[in-house]
Amino acid sequence: MYRQLKTPETAGTWDIGCRLEASSVHAMRADPDTTHTVAHTVNRLVIDTETSFDEVLERYESLVPTVDFAKLTRLVFNGDLSRVKRYTDELAPHSFVNFSMFDPTPQMQLFGHRTRAVTYMMSDNLIVEKMFRHHPGVMLYAPLRTEIYEDEAELTHLSIDQPSTRFASFGDPRIAAMGLELDAKLAETLKLMSMSVPAELQRDAP
């Protein structure tokens, strides 16, 4: 039901590093006096299609290829940035790569549901790095969460939060510009999937 796209050999190393970092950040921010709320509006985009669920999955996965976590982990810990960039460039001719996939369908079918859904975590690491240098908090919204699902009428939908509306919440025009660039890349991916492009994504990125 849940599949993380990494191998048993590297899963422990990758996860432990993430958990330790998260723990240390939490310890430094423990004072409740530092808590604040950022209110912002997000557009959830839903693209409807009469194409079958399985075909939409196939198109998406062909355009947003899956990262080989074992290979990526080796490259990262070898400390060779040029090889990391080369790997992602070769893997993702259309900018986005998929980091993980979650399929709740088998469990939901146990409850008697007939509909299907799959979620993906996709990202463009080069753009994310350009935002990260200005505010590490952008990782809350990167990778981008994407869902492909079918409804009771067996019609298929692709849903994703509009990237620029997420990243605009940081109040930094440099990050906002990168959010618009992600909008444009998302629009191009939808076109390649032969799906409609929401008007909100058709503004020119700076």
Domain ranges of the chain: 41-66+96-199
Which is more confidently placed, 13 or 135? 135
| CA angle at 161 for the pair 157 and 167, rounded to the nearest 5° | 165
DSSP code for 200: G
Residue 76 pLDDT class (50, 70, 90 cuts): confident
The rounded mean pLDDT for the chain is 84
- For the cut 70, the answer to whether the pLDDT of residue 68 exceeds it is yes
- In 3D, which of 54, 65, 74 has the Cα closest to residue 116? 54
Which is more confidently placed, 78 or 30? 78
- What is the C-alpha R_g of the chain? 18
d(CA 148, CA 138): 24
- For the cut 90, the answer to whether the pLDDT of residue 119 exceeds it is yes
- In 3D, which of 162, 187, 166 has the Cα closest to residue 175? 166
Sequence-distant (6+) residues with CB within 8 A of 200 are 43, 45, 162, 183
**Stretch 193-203: mean pLDDT, rounded?**
93
- In 3D, which of 130, 171, 165 has the Cα closest to residue 144? 165
Q: Which CATH superfamily includes the segment(s) 41-66+96-199?
A: TT1751-like domain (3.30.310.70)
Residue 91 pLDDT class (50, 70, 90 cuts): confident
Residue 86 pLDDT class (50, 70, 90 cuts): confident
pLDDT at 121: 96
- For the cut 60, the answer to whether the pLDDT of residue 165 exceeds it is yes
